[in-house]
Structure 1
Amino acid sequence: MVVSKVAQRREVKIASIVDAAWALARERGIQLVSLRDLAREVGMRQPSLYAYFDSKDALYDAMFADGNRQLLATLDAIDRPADPRAALKAYLGAFADFAVADPARNSLLFRRVIPGFEPSAESYAVAREALGRVLGVMNAAGVTDGGDIDCLVAITAGLIEAQLSNDPGGDRWLRHLDRMIDLLVDDATEGTTR
C-alpha cells in the first residue's frame, strides 16, 4: 500500500504530538495533560489540535497504543533464554523495568487512572498482543491455570506498585521478582514436573 506524502506528514505530526503529550505527562502526571498546554507545546492553537485528536480521550487512546507499542519493542528486544523459567524471569523482569521506568506511562497503561477512559478496540489490540506474548512465556514455564496466571500477574503488579510508591529509582521491591516467580512456578507445576 502506497502512503501519500500528506498522510506521512500527518503521521509524523501525530507522533510528535504524542511525544509532547508524554513529556507533559511525565512533568505533571497523566491526569493533568491538557489540550491547551499540549497545543502550546507543539506550536499550534488548541482548535488546530482537534484536526489530529477530536477529544482528550482520543489523545489518551493514541498514547495508550504508543505505550503498548513501546512495550512490544521492549519484549521483542529480549534475548529469550531457552530455559522456560529463565525466559519467564527475563520477560517479567523486562516488563517490571518498563513499568517503573516511566510512572506516567505506567499509570495510563496499567492503572486506569483516567476516569471514563476506555481504549479503542484498535489500541487495546496492541495491549492484547503484548499480554499474549507474556502469557505464552508463562504457559511455556508451566503456568497455565487461570488462577496461577492471575497470581503471577498480581505478584508482578504488586512489586511494581511497591517499587514506584516506596523506593522510586531503587530496587528494594523488584529484586524479589525472580524469587516470587520461582515460588509461583514451583507451586503451579507441583505434581506435573516432579
Structure 2
Amino acid sequence: MSTAGLDRRTRRRQETIEEILSVAIELMETEGVAALSLSAVARRLGMQPPSLYQYFPSKMAIYDALFQRGNELLRDAYRTATVDAEDQLESNLKAATAFCRWCLEHQVYAQLLFWRTIPGFEPSPEAFAPAQESIQDLRDHLQATVDAGLVHPDAVSAGGIALYTSLVAGLLSQQMANEPHASFEDGRFIKLLPVVLEMFYQQYAPTRGRNDRSTSATDRTS
C-alpha cells in the first residue's frame, strides 16, 4: 500500500503495519501458516507483544489483513498479465499462467487464500472484496471467450466457473503437494495447464447443446 500523501504519523503507522505483515509471512514460511505467533512477530520486530495490539487486536486480524493483501497482489498480477495478448485464447492462457505462477511463488499466501489452513478463520467482507473482483475478472474472460464464439455460453454458468476453478486448483494442489520447490517452468504438474484449459474448452465447445449428454453434473445442479 502506498503511503504517499499521508501525514507523518499515519504514514509511520502504515509502514509499521506493512512490516508486521511482512514478518508474519516470513514466519509462516518457516513455521507453517497455522502456527503464526503474535509473540514471535513482536520479537522479530523488537517490540513488546502488547504494542502489537495497537495495530492488530488478534492473530485473526493479521490473517485477515494478509488475506486481503494477498488477494490484491494476485488480482493485480492476473490483470497485468493479459495486457499484450493478441487474441482471446492467448489472453486466457496468460491470465491462468499468471495466476498459477503467482501462487507457486507465494505459497504461503496461496495456502491462506485457497485452502482452509486456519481453523476458525473467515475473512471479513473487506478482505474478501478483492477475491470477488478476481472471480469477476474470470467471468469477464470467459464471457469474452463466449463472445468470440470459442466456447458455449454455459462456460460462464455457475457450473462452468466451478469446473474451471476446480481444474486449475487441482493442478496447483498437485504441484504444491508433490514438488513444492519446483519452478513454474519445471513443475511436472503445472506444465499441464494448457492441457487443462483445452479440456475446459472441449467440455464447453461452441456446438454443445444444453440438453445433450455432455452436459456436466455441475451445470445440471447450478
Please give the TM-score of this superposition, normalised by the length of structure 2: 0.81
Cα distance in 2 for residues equivalent to 1:178 and 1:103: 21
1:79-121, Cα deviation, whole Å (9 max, x unpaired): 4314212211111111111112122111101102101111111
Shift of 1:47: 0.6
1:139-160, Cα deviation, whole Å (9 max, x unpaired): 2123312212211110000000
| Counterparts of residues 83-98 of structure 1 (less than 5 Å) | 83-98=87-102
Cα distance in 2 for residues equivalent to 1:147 and 1:126: 22
Shift of 1:72: 2.1
Structure 1 equivalent of residue 73 of structure 2: 70
Match of 1:132 among 136, 146, 150: 136
The runs of 5 or more residues in structure 1 that have no matched partner are none
Structure 1 equivalent of residue 212 of structure 2: none
Matched, 1:19 2:31: no
Shift of 1:54: 0.2
The runs of 5 or more residues in structure 2 that have no matched partner are 147-154, 209-222
Cα distance in 2 for residues equivalent to 1:65 and 1:146: 24
Cα distance in 2 for residues equivalent to 1:72 and 1:151: 20
Structure 1 equivalent of residue 149 of structure 2: none
Match of 2:199 among 176, 183, 188: 183
Matched, 1:4 2:7: yes
Structure 1 equivalent of residue 176 of structure 2: 164
1:21-59, Cα deviation, whole Å (9 max, x unpaired): 111111111111100000011110111000000001001
Letter in structure 2 aligned against 1:115: P
Cα distance in 2 for residues equivalent to 1:174 and 1:93: 9
Please give the TM-score of this superposition, normalised by the length of structure 1: 0.92
Farther-moved stretch of structure 1 (7-16 vs 178-187):
178-187
SS of equivalent to 2:160: helix
Cα distance in 2 for residues equivalent to 1:175 and 1:141: 22
Identical amino acids, percent of aligned pairs: 30
> How many positions carry a matched residue from both structures?
191
Cα distance in 1 for residues equivalent to 2:76 and 2:86: 20
Match of 1:146 among 148, 158, 166: 158
Cα distance in 2 for residues equivalent to 1:161 and 1:182: 19
Letter in structure 1 aligned against 2:71: N
Contact 1:65 1:123 in 2 (8 A): yes
Farther-moved stretch of structure 1 (8-17 vs 80-89):
80-89
Higher relative CO (Cα under 8 Å, sequence separation at least 6) belongs to 1
Cα distance in 1 for residues equivalent to 2:51 and 2:163: 46
Considering only aligned residues, what root-mean-square deviation do their CA atoms show, in Å?
A: 1.5
Letter in structure 2 aligned against 1:164: M
